[in-house]
């Protein structure tokens, strides 16, 4: 079967009921979707399938022949972050990082679907995602800012070779 | 563990011809795949319905037919109690992947009853078309539920009610199954049906409460006698028994306001 991941087409050899998560991580080496609970309950494996957020741990690979999958690696680059990635960076919305890929993908899907900047609406959209650091406030801050158009996409965040690393971390305590 | 033999029908007819009792049927995968990952389920033969052409909602006048592999998310726009009940299932991602057939047919889970949609579809008097031993049958959902494990659900049909209401307990977490939820609907011919999800086994009608529905308090008081309460990780039977009358009262009050 064929699967397109982040714009690259792959031929997949896994058994038909292998979860998409295992194919991404073990067969293709794409590790941003995390193997958390693997029961659909934590959200950390969430990827876009045909543009909509789905749990990679619940999808049998045979159900996806010809599908287009996008992971965090396909949203933006280190030099040109997508709006939601930039918002997570600006609002310091990642702590340990384990839930971040799933949160970013779900939030991306929410924004693409025209999601509003109302916090209650954002909470509903992210309800299936667990942050083990309990850093929900900053995550919702980030999505609120992105939904409200307060974040400039494509900003360059990482220092280039020869440049000093930035010392200011937006959102960090002074 | 040997990989199961996986059947992948490409039409409803092929799905019917390949189905036999004992085959593990996979709709969206939200129940079967994690059970296989954990090792709780080791099927010898599985049937994946993704390409079987069993998805979609069709309307013919006031008659609504929902294909077996229609995602739960597509029911959200349907009238109460079905729409609000679907909106209350799990989270955005699971609703978009889990199917109506899987939700109706799944057996009891490890920690709680499954089948969130059963109560709402009982309340609208849904009928189920299914295949299996003895061929294709169409029967009321309440007759289908006790032997659902032996059947391949093809679609569910109901007449749009003239009024509907859905009164659930708030879920402890979005991923919990229904702790307790009462659905009420008044059919176009005036028949009033009440059903409850989150009880032992599968959802059931509340005939004692229905008989007294003109008096909300009497119906609420009669409702616990209609039910065997689940006693599990989500709630004790004691708690459910005391909560059911409250939900029946809410559902009937909503229904009166909706009428």
CA distances (Å), origin B62, targets A137, B65, B131: 45, 10, 25
pLDDT at site A160: 60
pLDDT at A53 over 80: yes
- For an interface test with B, the pick among A35, A40, A112 (most B C-beta atoms closer than 10 Å) comes out as A40
For tokens 């296989």, what's the residue? B36
- Whether residue A170 has pLDDT greater than 80: no
Q: What is the pLDDT of residue A33?
A: 97
CB B152 within 8 A of CB B132: yes
Torsion of the alpha carbons at B188, B191, B197 and B201, rounded to the nearest 10: -120
Chain B residues contacting A via beta carbons under 8 Å: 3-4, 6, 8, 26, 28-30, 33-34, 36-38, 46, 48, 50, 90-94, 96-97, 174-175
Q: Quick check: B44 and B5 in contact, CB under 8 A?
A: yes
Say which residues have a Cβ less than 8 Å from residue A160's Cβ, sequence separation at least 6.
none
The predicted-structure confidence for B64-101, as pLDDT tens digits, reads as follows: 999 999 999 999 999 999 999 999 999 999 999 999 99
Question: A15 contacts in B (CB within 8 Å)?
Answer: 3, 6
A15–B92 C-beta distance less than 8 A:
no
Within a 10 A sphere around the Cβ of B39, how many other Cβ atoms? 8
- Which domains are present in chain A? 2-74 (3.10.20.30), 76-169 (1.10.150.120)
| Cβ–Cβ below 8 Å for B93 and A16 | no
Residue A55, chain B, CB below 8 Å: the answer is yes
Tokens of A83: 């709006």
pLDDT at A152 over 80: no
Burial of B35 (0-12, 13-18, 19+ CB in 10 A): middle
Q: Range with the lowest mean pLDDT among A7-21, A133-147, B170-184?
A: B170-184
Find chain B residues with C-beta within 8 A of A38's C-beta.
34, 37-38
A63: nearest CB among B34, B38, B50:
B50
CATH number belonging to the domain at B5-258, selected among 3.40.30.10, 3.30.465.10, 3.30.300.30, 1.20.1250.20: 3.30.465.10
- Residues near B168 by Cβ (< 8 Å), separated by ≥ 6? B85, B88, B178, B179, B180, B181, B182, B247
Instruction: Answer yes or no: is pLDDT of A52 > 60.
Output: yes
What six digits make up the tokens of B231? 């006693």
The answer to whether the Cβ–Cβ distance between B175 and A128 falls below 8 Å is: yes
Determine the pLDDT at residue B247. 98
* Minimal CA separation from B113 to chain A, in Å: 17
The residue ranges of every structural domain in chain B are: 5-258
pLDDT value at A169 more than 50: no
Residue A102 contacts B, CB cutoff 8 Å: no
ipTM given for this complex: 0.93
Q: B127-132, long-range: CB within 8 Å, 24+ apart, which pairs?
A: B127/B156, B127/B157, B127/B158, B128/B104, B128/B153, B128/B155, B128/B156, B129/B153, B129/B154, B129/B155, B129/B156, B129/B157, B130/B154, B131/B15, B131/B16, B131/B19, B132/B19, B132/B21
Yes or no: say if B102 and B27 are a contact pair by the CB < 8 Å rule.
yes
How confident is the model over B159-204, as pLDDT tens digits?
A: 999 999 999 998 888 888 899 999 999 999 999 999 999 998 999 9
Cβ–Cβ < 8 Å for B215, B245: no
The answer, yes or no, to whether residue A174 has pLDDT greater than 50, is: no
As a whole number of angstroms, the distance between CA A119 and CA A100 comes to 18
Contact in structure between B223 and B195 (CB atoms under 8 Å): no
Closest partner residue to B6 (CB to CB) among A16, A38, A46 is A16
A19 and B37 within 8 Å at the Cβ level: the answer is: yes
pLDDT tens, A78-134?
Answer: 778 899 999 999 999 999 999 999 999 999 999 999 999 999 999 999 999 999 999
Question: In this complex, which of A38, A109, A127 lies closest to B174 when CB atoms are compared?
Answer: A127
Nearest to A131 by CA among A1, A21, A34, A42: A42
Handedness of CA B194, B196, B200, B204 (dihedral sign): positive
Interchain CB distance below 8 Å, A43 and B29: no
Q: Is the peptide bond before B189 cis (omega within 30 degrees of 0)?
A: no
| Cβ–Cβ gap B92/A124 under 8 Å | yes
Nearest chain A alpha carbon to B49: A63
**Residue (of A140, A103, A124, A114) closest to B90 by Cα position:** A124
């Amino acid at each position: 079967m064929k699967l397109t991941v982040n714009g690259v087409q792959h031929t997949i050899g896994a058994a038909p009921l292998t979860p998409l998560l295992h194919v991404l991580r073990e067969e293709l080496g794409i590790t941003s979707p995390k193997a958390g609970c693997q029961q659909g309950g934590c959200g950390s494996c969430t990827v876009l399938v045909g543009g909509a957020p789905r749990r990679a741990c619940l999808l049998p690979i045979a159900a996806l022949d010809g599908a287009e999958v996008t992971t965090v690696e396909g949203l933006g680059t280190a030099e040109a972050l997508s709006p939601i990635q930039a918002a997570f960076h600006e609002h310091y919305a990642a702590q340990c990082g384990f839930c971040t890929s799933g949160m970013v993908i779900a939030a991306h899907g929410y924004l693409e679907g025209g999601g509003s900047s109302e916090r209650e609406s954002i909470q509903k959209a992210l309800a299936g995602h667990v942050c083990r650091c309990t850093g929900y406030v900053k995550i919702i801050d980030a999505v609120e800012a992105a939904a409200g158009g307060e974040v400039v996409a494509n900003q360059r965040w990482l220092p280039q070779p020869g440049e000093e690393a930035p010392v200011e971390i937006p959102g960090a305590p002074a | 563990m040997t990989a199961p033999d996986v059947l992948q029908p490409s039409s409803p007819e092929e799905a019917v011809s390949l189905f036999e009792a004992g085959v593990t049927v996979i709709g969206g995968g939200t129940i079967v795949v994690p059970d296989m990952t954990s090792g709780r389920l080791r099927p010898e033969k599985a049937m994946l319905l993704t390409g079987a052409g069993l998805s979609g909602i069709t309307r013919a006048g006031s008659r609504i037919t929902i294909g077996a592999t229609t995602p739960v998310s597509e029911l959200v726009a349907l009238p109460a109690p079905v729409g609000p009940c679907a909106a209350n299932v799990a989270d955005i991602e699971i609703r978009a992947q889990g199917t109506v057939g899987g939700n109706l047919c799944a057996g009891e889970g490890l920690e709680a009853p499954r089948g969130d949609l059963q109560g709402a579809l009982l309340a609208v008097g849904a009928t189920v078309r299914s295949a299996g031993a003895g061929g294709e049958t169409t029967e009321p959902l309440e007759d289908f539920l006790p032997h659902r494990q032996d059947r391949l659900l093809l679609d569910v049909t109901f007449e749009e009610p003239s009024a509907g209401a859905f009164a659930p307990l708030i879920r402890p977490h979005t991923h919990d199954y229904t702790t307790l939820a009462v659905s009420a609907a008044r059919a176009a011919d005036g028949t009033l049906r009440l059903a409850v999800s989150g009880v032992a086994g599968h959802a059931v009608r509340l005939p004692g409460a229905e008989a007294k529905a003109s008096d909300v308090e009497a119906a609420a008081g009669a409702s616990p006698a209609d039910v065997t309460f689940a006693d599990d990780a989500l709630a004790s039977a004691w708690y459910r028994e005391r909560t059911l009358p409250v939900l029946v009262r809410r559902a009937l009050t909503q229904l009166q306001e909706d009428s």
